[in-house]
Amino acid sequence: MKPFSIFSTLLLISTVALQAGDDASTKQPILDPKDCHDVPYDCHRVDAHAPIGVMGDHTHHAGEFMASYRYMFMQMRPNFVGSSEVSAGSQLSPTGFRVMPQDMQTEMHMFGLMYAPTDDLTLAFMLPQIDKSMQHLVINGTTFRTNTNGVGDFKFGGLLDIFEEGNSKMHLNLMMSAPTGSTTETGFVPPAGRVVRLPYPMQLGSGTWDLKPGITYAEQCRNYSWGAQLLGTVRLGTNDEGYSLGDDITANLWGALKLSDSLSTSLRLSATSWGDIDGRDPLIALPVPTARPDLRGGERVDLFYGINYLFRKGPLSGHRLAVEAGIPLHQDLDGPQLGMDWMMTVGWQKAF
């Protein structure tokens, strides 16, 4: 599926959902800043949850539980050197890379649980199940694919409310990541003629305990809302294989239009920068750029379109469904490295 058809499908879903909505007819101008003053922050609004691709975006009131499930898909291709696209074939040489990645698909099933012991603190837990697949071109013209799958790194911690006044609120993201994902995945590599440890991007975890600090701000007006989040990853120490993945930082800025009590659509800009790998795994030593610790870093700016839907009546009342898809606007990679093509997240959430 191409990004264009995904975006048209999402637009179609919004239109249909809006037609089916219960109170879609709003006659006032939609974006009126006057509508922001007497609006108390309402954490049960459809757009009180950020676009589904944003993690740790909201908190809960004391005693509330929330269960969630997200399906994420990422398609990566082609290769980039800096901000220029390069073909896999052009990077192959007898004295340099003899294998090049051509494309990679990552699927993730993310299971989440939130619980608020107090009004100021929400505990959050997330466990991903990951499926990766990478296609390669060999210098002799043949191709091969490697696959890995399994549980990823378990994330846990708290979201601490530090400010709530009128129509805005802010919380700190105090999360950690435990090294539950494998860093020793292997696969059969035809040009090597044997089963070897697969390169860094095919591994399922970081292998290190990681800090994931962040700060999230959200503001609501009558028919729209916006939010911003800064979220980082700090690797603590070195993993058993002898390396640590690069630290990263992501800035998110989103705006949502509340089209009815059940439906909102959103646009999100996301900017990410991540570092190269420190150290190296001596068992990852193939003539392929994905085995090079110094060819992993980069930066990227993505644009997303999303839909949130909140069931307000019937047997599904209180259930949330959301979808968000994005494409890169800019990427600058230490390469050759596979760049982002498109990605999407579909999610379900229910608070109890």
User: Binding to Cu ion by residue 114, rule CB under 5 A?
Assistant: yes
Q: How far apart are CA 189 and CA 146, in angstroms?
A: 7
Q: What token pair was written down for 226?
A: 């916006």
Q: Whose Cβ is closer to Cu ion: residue 66's or residue 221's?
A: 66
Binding region for Cu ion (CB under 5 A) out of 10-18, 65-73, 285-293, 305-313: 65-73
CB of 252 to Cu ion, least distance (A): 17
User: Binding to Cu ion by residue 52, rule CB under 5 A?
Assistant: no
CB of 57 to Cu ion, least distance (A): 8
User: Binding to Cu ion by residue 66, rule CB under 5 A?
Assistant: yes
Q: Which residues does 218 contact at the CB level (< 8 Å), separation at least 6?
A: 41, 48, 50, 57, 58, 168, 169, 170, 225, 226, 227
CB of 352 to Cu ion, least distance (A): 10
User: Binding to Cu ion by residue 110, rule CB under 5 A?
Assistant: no
Q: Whose Cβ is closer to Cu ion: residue 103's or residue 161's?
A: 161
- Tell me how many residues contact Cu ion (CB under 5 A): 2
Q: Whose Cβ is closer to Cu ion: residue 66's or residue 325's?
A: 66
Which helix H or strand E contains 147, and what residues bound it?
A: strand 143-151
- The CA-to-CA distance between both ends of the chain, in Å, stands at 36
CB of 268 to Cu ion, least distance (A): 18
Cα separations in angstroms, 93 against 84, 232, 293, 343, 344: 19, 37, 20, 31, 35
**Under a CB-based contact definition with an 8 Å cutoff, are residues 308 and 324 in contact?**
no
CB of 60 to Cu ion, least distance (A): 6
Q: What token pair was written down for 49?
A: 């949850």
**Under a CB-based contact definition with an 8 Å cutoff, are residues 280 and 29 in contact?**
no
Binding region for Cu ion (CB under 5 A) out of 59-67, 94-102, 205-213, 239-247: 59-67
**Under a CB-based contact definition with an 8 Å cutoff, are residues 73 and 106 in contact?**
yes
CB of 159 to Cu ion, least distance (A): 9
Footprint of Cu ion on 188-247 (CB under 5 A): none
Binding site for Cu ion (CB under 5 A): 66, 114
